[in-house]
Amino acid sequence: MNITERQMEILDGVCKEYIKQAFPISSQFLKERQSLPYSSATIRNEFVALEDKSYLLHPYVSSGRIPSDKGYRFFVERILKEEKFECEKEDDLEEFFSEISQIKDILKMSREITKSFSELSSNLVLTYLPQDNIFWREGWDRVIDEPEFQNVEYLKDFLESVRDFEKNIEKLDWEREQDVKVYIGRENPFLKNKASVIVAKVSLQKDIETFVAILGPKRMDFERNIGFLKKAAEILESF
């Protein structure tokens, strides 16, 4: 590993704060918000080291730092290795999906799942039923509230990404035992470099394969959405 424990802590902090704030993170801001035991000067030095290793970007001369695709990937891999995922309102989720599981009509069930995923993730959610070749989409109003979408070109790129992703969703490669895939920026050949997606395969009614994808700006709340999607898939597949 070419990153120290201190650099790892600082990189995690930058990812978490940039995801929340949507502006470049300065050393002083990071120190205060993450309660880091290092001086601002030390953090700035580590910023430079992380930038040299391509984990951080420096968008403006006098600004703070933002994660690069490589930085986000390092952050996400640490999340995926967690054995237990924290999920907001887990008890409510179990009750809610228990009710959904009683729906006999698979199209109605998948639509309700799409709506609930969108409400909880605050992103655009796509659910795809290969057997019926049907997509449900929910959350356009939520995702375009993100500051990135005030840029018209960014919004156009995102819309194009969604269309391309829909056309190619069945071409995604799944490793054995893999339940969730995360694509960041350029990693997905079907997405523009400004978008991120978390996608899971879920079996509804025991044997109906369904794809559920959460799409948003590259600056997505990976920690919350991965935990939520994993927990929701686990609950749905238990019925």
Domains with residue ranges and CATH for the chain = 5-80 (1.10.10.10), 90-237 (3.30.450.40)
Q: Supply the pLDDT for residue 1.
A: 58
Length of the chain: 239
**Spatial separation of the C-alpha atoms in residues 192 and 184, rounded to whole Å:** 10
Q: What is residue 68's predicted lDDT score, i.e. its pLDDT? A: 94
pLDDT tens for each residue of 166-180: 888 888 777 655 678
pLDDT, position 9: 96
Structure confidence at residue 60 as a pLDDT band (50, 70, 90):
confident
Highest mean pLDDT among 7-21, 79-93, 100-114: 7-21
Q: What is the mean pLDDT of residues 183-190?
A: 80
In the 8-state DSSP scheme, what is residue 171?
G
For residue 109, pLDDT over 80 is answered with yes
Name the residue with higher pLDDT: 7 or 120: 7
61's CB contacts (< 8 A; 6+ apart) are: none
